[in-house]
């Protein structure tokens, strides 16, 4: 869908959001938001036609509003006619961010669904996985564990490698229409390529696309002198074998991985990394892990 | 005293996610291995669900082997079933990686030895 940008009146710039504010629109949305970030006029995000906002879309809008707030500039949301989406904008905390005039009040620390973290905070993965599982209503304990593990993994990656002064966002949401759970973690840090180049794991002239592919290889890590963790490789293997998808955007490349699909898409440059995991509650199942008695651990 | 119990809650509090969090527990286990013959880590059924934490705090001991017989001297008490499974997955993964690295190193040594003998 093409976005429309219009001058609403002399003091406002309006960005018309599409029906579905999701990953497929992220490139256009990022371009639009980047263009309007420093405008002195009030930016109105017109969400009247919106019926769905993915966690990734939510983060992009929230991040834009926060950065405008840091510049003492205003953002407003024209609320959707769609009741559930209007509720979501309110309950997720997105509305509060756009209405705040003070950066310190913009984010409710008790909010679960959408958070901006300066560092890894206790209980965030537990609360968010519990929140999404309650929304989905049909997620069993094994699946809830996986969900929590992935949220923890994405957050610790952002915490350990992003080196972002601004912090990192996390958002999760269940869609009852397609039964999909989506989790998104985004930081505005140094990006995957720089992180691996700084650790001497990749040459300086490597491009963002190759750097993301390398990051998904077994054993790749930016930790010096150590073997890599399971990390993103674990999540990508899982979504490929159980259904779902993993999208990684870092620098000027975006990689989309699903069961039999791998798409590499050139993207508007993004300073940092966005990781988006999506899976279906009908296909998720407990991990097929090895029997405990094959390991050296002594459990009591 | 022959054994010590390290309570996860007391050692790490709520910080049970990152590698830095895991390093704290790793160090406590490491110190304890030097002074006690048996180190019991009490998880109290607290679910961790963090690969980074478990790898750094627990699995690392089985690969670094700074103390002998780690397998019999570290006892993991009250670990939830999913975390036991995750520990197993991490261990197998690390084992695979280490053997891959060892093969790579052996190949490198062999090829440099061949180059040296060729020169001679």
The percentage of chain A sitting over the pLDDT mark of 90, rounded to a whole number, equals 56
CB A295 within 8 A of CB B88: yes
Q: What is the pLDDT of residues A103-147, one digit of tens each?
A: 888 888 888 999 999 999 989 999 999 999 999 887 888 888 989
- The arithmetic mean of pLDDT across residues B15-40, rounded, is 95
pLDDT of residue A291: 59
CA-nearest residue to A124 within chain B is: B17
Minimal C-alpha gap between A140 and chain B (Å): 13
Is it the case that residue A299 has pLDDT exceeding 90?
yes
Provide the pLDDT confidence category of residue A2 given band limits of 50, 70 and 90: very low
Mean pLDDT for A273-300 is 77
Coil, strand or helix at A114: strand
In a mutational test of the A interface, the residue from B88, B98, B100, B101 whose CB has the highest number of chain A CBs within 10 Å is B88
Distance from CA of B111 to the nearest CA of A (A): 22
> Do the Cβ atoms of B17 and A125 come within 8 Å?
yes
CB contact under 8 A, A297 and B101: no
Report chain A's mean pLDDT, rounded to a whole number: 87
Give domain limits for chain A.
1-111, 112-288
β strands within chain A, DSSP E: 4-9, 12-16, 20-21, 42-46, 52-53, 75-78, 114-117, 168-175, 180-187, 245-258, 261-280, 298-299
| Contact call for residues A286 and B62 (beta carbons, < 8 A) | no
CA distance A197 to chain B (A): 20
Burial class (CB in 10 A: 0-12, 13-18, 19+), A165: exposed
- Residue A177 structure tokens: 């229409």
A124-136 helix and A141-161 helix, angle to the nearest 10 degrees: 140
Instruction: Starting at the earlier edge strand, list the strands of the sheet with A168-175.
Output: A114-117, A168-175, A180-187, A261-280, A245-258
- From B15, B19, B82, residue closest to A160, measured CB to CB: B19
Q: Does A293 touch chain B (CB under 8 A)?
A: no
What is the C-alpha separation between A68 and A48, in angstroms, rounded? Answer: 21
pLDDT for B72 beyond 50? yes
Domain covering A112-288 in this structure, CATH number: 3.30.565.10
Residues of A in contact with B21 (CB under 8 A): 120
DSSP state of A290: P
Predicted pLDDT of residue B120 = 63
CB B8, CB B16: distance < 8 Å: yes
User: In chain B, where are the structural domains located?
Assistant: 3-119
Give the Cβ contact number of residue B107 at 10 Å: 10
Confirm or reject CATH 3.30.750.24 for domain A1-111, answering yes or no. Answer: yes
What number is the ipTM of this complex?
Answer: 0.86
Mutation choice for A interface testing from B46, B50, B95 by most A CBs within 10 A: B50
Question: What pLDDT shows up at residue A256?
Answer: 92
């Amino acid at each position: 869908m093409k976005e429309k940008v219009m001058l609403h009146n002399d003091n406002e710039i309006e960005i018309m959001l599409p029906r579905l504010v999701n990953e497929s629109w992220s490139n256009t949305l990022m371009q639009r938001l980047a263009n309007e970030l420093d405008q002195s006029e009030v930016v109105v995000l017109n969400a009247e036609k919106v019926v769905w906002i993915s966690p990734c879309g939510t983060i992009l809008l929230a991040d834009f509003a926060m950065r405008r707030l840091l510049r003492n500039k205003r953002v407003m949301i024209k609320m959707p006619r769609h009741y559930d989406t209007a509720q979501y904008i309110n309950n997720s905390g997105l509305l509060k961010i756009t209405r705040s005039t003070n950066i310190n009040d913009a984010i409710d620390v008790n909010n679960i669904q959408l958070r901006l973290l300066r560092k890894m905070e206790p209980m965030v993965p537990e609360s968010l996985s519990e929140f999404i599982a309650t929304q989905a209503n049909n997620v069993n304990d094994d699946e809830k564990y996986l969900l929590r593990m992935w949220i923890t993994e994405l957050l610790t990656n952002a915490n350990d490698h992003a080196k972002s002064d601004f912090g990192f966002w996390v958002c999760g949401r269940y869609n009852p229409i397609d039964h999909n759970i989506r989790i998104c973690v985004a930081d505005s840090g140094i990006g995957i390529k720089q992180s691996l180049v700084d650790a001497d794991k990749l040459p300086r002239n490597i491009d963002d696309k190759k750097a993301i592919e390398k990051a998904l290889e077994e054993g790749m890590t930016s930790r010096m002198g150590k073997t890599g963790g399971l990390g993103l490789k674990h999540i990508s293997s899982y979504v490929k074998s159980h259904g779902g998808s993993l999208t990684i955007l870092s620098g000027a490349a975006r990689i989309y991985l699903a069961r039999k699909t791998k798409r590499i898409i050139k993207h508007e440059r993004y300073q940092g990394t966005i990781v988006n995991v999506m899976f279906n509650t009908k296909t998720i199942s407990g991990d097929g892990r090895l029997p405990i008695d094959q390991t050296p651990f002594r459990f009591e | 005293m022959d054994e010590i119990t390290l309570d996860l809650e007391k050692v790490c509090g709520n910080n049970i996610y990152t590698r830095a969090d895991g390093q704290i527990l790793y160090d406590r286990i490491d110190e304890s291995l030097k002074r006690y013959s048996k180190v019991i880590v009490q998880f109290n059924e607290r679910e961790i669900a963090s690969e980074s934490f478990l790898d750094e705090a627990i699995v690392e001991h089985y690969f670094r082997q700074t103390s002998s017989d780690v397998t019999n001297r570290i006892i993991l008490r009250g670990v939830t079933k999913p975390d036991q499974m995750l520990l197993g997955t991490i261990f197998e993964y690390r084992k695979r990686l280490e053997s891959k690295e060892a093969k790579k190193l052996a190949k490198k040594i062999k090829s440099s030895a061949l180059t040296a003998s060729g020169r001679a």
